[in-house]
Amino acid sequence: METSELLKKVRRIEIKTRGLSRNIFAGQYHSAFKGRGMAFSEVREYQYGDDIRDIDWNVTARYIRPYVKVFEEERELTVMLLIDVSGSRDFGSVNVMKKEIMTEIAATLAFSAIQNNDKIGVIFFSDKVEKFIPPQKGRKHILYVIRELIDFQPEDRQTDISQVLKYLTNAIKKRCTAFLISDFINKDSFKDALTVANRKHDMVAIQVYDQRETELPSVGLMKIKDAETGKEQWIDTSSSRVRQAYKEWWEKRQEAMDTTFKKCRVDSVSIRTEDDYVKSLMALFEKRN
């Protein structure tokens, strides 16, 4: 992508996602992700927007003014974005590709983190770790992250979620909140790696998928191509049996994914490319409060 075109795209996404994180998420992100299993550090006077569940009633009674407990990580969380850059993200049947929605979601979370004075880092992955951007603060860092989200070109096109989870577990020593953003088109189970990662970190899974991936249209013979392997084949979509088999495959795959998240005790949300991802993220945040 040309530099001028890339910068325009970065600016567009910055304006949209910074506004969303500032005006819509405000305190929701903060209350959903701070202080989970964190060490108590000190108390300070209550400020507007603080979670009333953090009020220290003994200190409040002593000073006759509300005081809240401050947790060590509340002052500086580390947020990691694990972004799937495999071939299947380059798909979209409506007006937008999965890749674009993943980029906007990641940018919105990044701005939410920065406004909360958190560090933000990124790991791009396919069937290997493609790129690691260490956690930092500041607008300059965020803009670099957004530029990479838009323009990064992976070496491989297949997916192995276990690899990125193992990398996260080993690379980030201090407990962090990690958003795993993917379509979860993954051939092998990643349950064991997710269990281990979630013991050390606070894992959150965000699935982005396209409506066309859930069922086949009845349009006769159709040539389909696996975006990750490049394999092509013809299928007869006029056959109700073929369409039903595909629909059942999709539902079974979703069920297996949801079961994995539940067993690993990982909060998750599934977002279609045509959905309002803001509502979906808000519901995710509220679920965690």
145 in the same domain as 39 = no
| Judgement on whether residues 55 and 196 belong to the same structural domain of the protein | no
Structure confidence at residue 141 (pLDDT)? 92
Question: Could you tell me the CATH number of the domain that includes residue 150?
Answer: 3.40.50.410
Side-chain half-sphere CA neighbours of 194 within 13 A: 25
Structural domain containing residue 39: 35-73
Residue at 229 is within a domain: no
pLDDT band at residue 97 under the 50/70/90 scheme:
confident
Whether residues 39 and 122 share a domain: the answer is no
Read off the pLDDT of each residue in 53-63 and give the average, rounded to a whole number. Answer: 85
Q: State the pTM of this model.
A: 0.78
Same domain, 43 and 186: no
Let me know whether 274 and 208 are in one domain.
Answer: yes
With cut-offs at 50, 70 and 90, classify the pLDDT of residue 278. confident
pLDDT at 47: 83
* Contact (CB, 8 A) for 90 and 96: no
Which of 14, 49, 73 is a domain's end point? 73
Q: Is residue 119 part of a domain?
A: yes
DSSP 197-261: HHHHSEEEEEEEE-GGGTS----SEEEEE-TTT--EEEEETT-HHHHHHHHHHHHHHHHHHHHHH
Does 185 lie in the same domain as 56? no
CA dihedral of residues 140, 146, 151, 155 (deg, nearest 10): 100
Does any domain span residue 236? no
Which residues does residue 179 pair with via DSSP β-bridges, in sequence order? 81, 204
Residue 104 lies in a domain: yes
Total domains in the chain come to 2
**Residue 159 to residue 108: CA distance in whole angstroms:** 24
Angle, helices 191-200/161-171, rounded to nearest 10 degrees = 20
Using the predicted structure, report yes or no on whether residue 222 has a pLDDT greater than 80: no
> Does residue 223 lie in a domain region?
no
The model's pLDDT over 113-134, given as tens digits with 9 standing for 90+, comes to 877 778 999 999 998 999 999 9
